[in-house]
Structure 1
Amino acid sequence: MEQNGAATPSFHRLLVAEVITETPDAHTLVLPVPPELAAAFSYRPGQYLTVRVRDGGRVFARSYSLSSSPHTDEHLRITVKRVPDGQASNWICDHVRAGAALDLAPPAGFFTPASLDDDLLLLAGGSGITPVMAIIKSVLAAGRGRLALVYANRDRRSVIFDAELTALCERHGDRLTVTHWLDGDRGAPSRDALAPLLSAYTDREAFVCGPEPFVLVALEALRHAGVPERRTRIERFDALPCAAAPDAAGPPAGARDATAEVTLDGQTHHLAWPAGTRLLDVIISAGLNPPYSCRQGNCGACACRLLTGEVDLVHNEVLEDEDFADGYILACQAVARSERVSVTYY
């Protein structure tokens, strides 16, 4: 996320070249990148883009995984699925057509394989297939890894990339296996039903993406099958409106009132930061539009860089030691431990 060590405006305007209807509820936006932005929008398979949507007087920033692969696709692609109360996703599905302009922040996220030569176990639910699809295409095109995908949906009409997955299986049957789980045929996935599908792949790193209920069941199934937690990567796509959860137990020990210096979109703001309040809530309450998605410490969409001061993260399921070493924190989970804290979004 750092570009030459300097803070630069986060959002750039790109034109939509094409809108592809994947299912009745899911659209893929094809986004060519002009040459002058090619470096800023280079990406790894499994990363996401943050989209800033303006609907009347309202502004929403939401993150959508790239379903394109840097190894196979000429243009960026994000796949957006309509969800209940999804203010941004529903607006995109209803209004965005070829020729429309969107404000996009450069790729970010940590749901990426360490090597395209590794054998992987992939579990996706619904629109959680989008970053998984990017990983599949990349491994098959530029790596030597073998892939096993378990993909859960309501019914066959809900399967995003159905034809593309079928074609990839036909071309790479020795390296890609796809198991479709359709609720209409089998009922909702459960730990005991999923675990036998995973038992042959317990030596692989597992990538899990989907709505919260699917992720929880998938994690239980992986543990039951014998996949160590340290080899499991998670990306959640919640179909619920984003809302900050109150801290019923009160501020964490050591939390204190502070001043936050926040650099966002090339401008620096000084904000009062009450003890125990999450940094993301402070920034949003000030009328700013930072990137975020799950607000639960699960997706990494709100990651920013800590320049000075100290914070505690209430919860974290995405940042690893090397990310902390580079200074990254999650705004949605950060509470202040020092009187002054400075962060920046690149």
Structure 2
Amino acid sequence: SGLKHLEKLLKFVDLRFIAILISRYVEIITYDDANDSPPGSGFYTPDKGFTWIGIHDLDATRAFYLNRFLALIFDNDAALFYQLCAIPMVSTPSLLEEESYKDRCTRISAEGVPELEYAFELTAPLQPYAIKKQINAHGLKSAVENIPIIEPLLYDTSFVQPLSSLVNSNLNLDELEMELTLILNAAIVRWQIPFFEAETIKHWSEKVKGAINLGLEDVIKTSNLPLIDIYRILGLQKLFRLGLWHLMELQKIALKIPVALIEPGTLSAENFSILACAREEIPEIPNFFNKDGSIQSEEGTLVPGTKAIEHLEEIQMLKKRLEDLFNN
């Protein structure tokens, strides 16, 4: 079983990573004459005495697997084995790491996953005056191209109004899907969300769509422009960033509330949950909190869980609740 895992790893691992492991944990001694005495205990030879391998600074289990991995490489491709052993002699680990990181960035950028700096740019809150300025300038949004669309990421969660009307309108859906994929990927990078945690990704997908919906509601209210015109001028990115601004304004109020109030026993379970949700990296809302500010319970117990904030009305209700807490 362990050998099968190593065989799978060998098929896709960056060879520079193997070279880094060799430079850090492997001592390699080569002989011109295979009949020379072994260099010492703990060394083994894959090629009948010409090359001797010794593992250091690893526990027994890791040393065993690294030995097996190197033996597997030799058995599959002896020339590759010798090349990997030679790399640490001509390149430092830091240089190998830098080159590997650059290649990784290139690969993930090709898949529509932005680098960290660009992810921060895509997820920076945008104030309403900047949106108004762009609308008044009658410009068009920047085109988004060549982003691989991840449909499960987009459609595993629902679209709420008015965003759902935009998605179902007569526009270039591929471009909208590419832009939404880019924003979701940026959020995953910006907030370091594990790609492999499906439920967490799904929840953040709802948060991203919720923020876009907040931005869309704001612009509809202040501009009287049709949905498609709003999208053509601003695109999803600026709508998302405007929605983030509203969410961060809510978060600011939550963060102003004295720490003493947050200690267990000082607040009701209802208010504690509302406050905790508003202090999240992207604020969210308890499932028991309805859009009109009413509280939903089942048999006297608050409905558990949290959900994305999707409407400006929810923001206003939450702000009022938090301001009441702060003032009291």
Measured against the shorter chain, the TM-score band is under 0.3
Give the strand-richer structure, 1 or 2: 1
Structure with higher RCO (Cα < 8 A, 6+ apart): 1
Structure number with bigger Rg:
2
Q: TM-score, normalised by structure 2?
A: 0.21
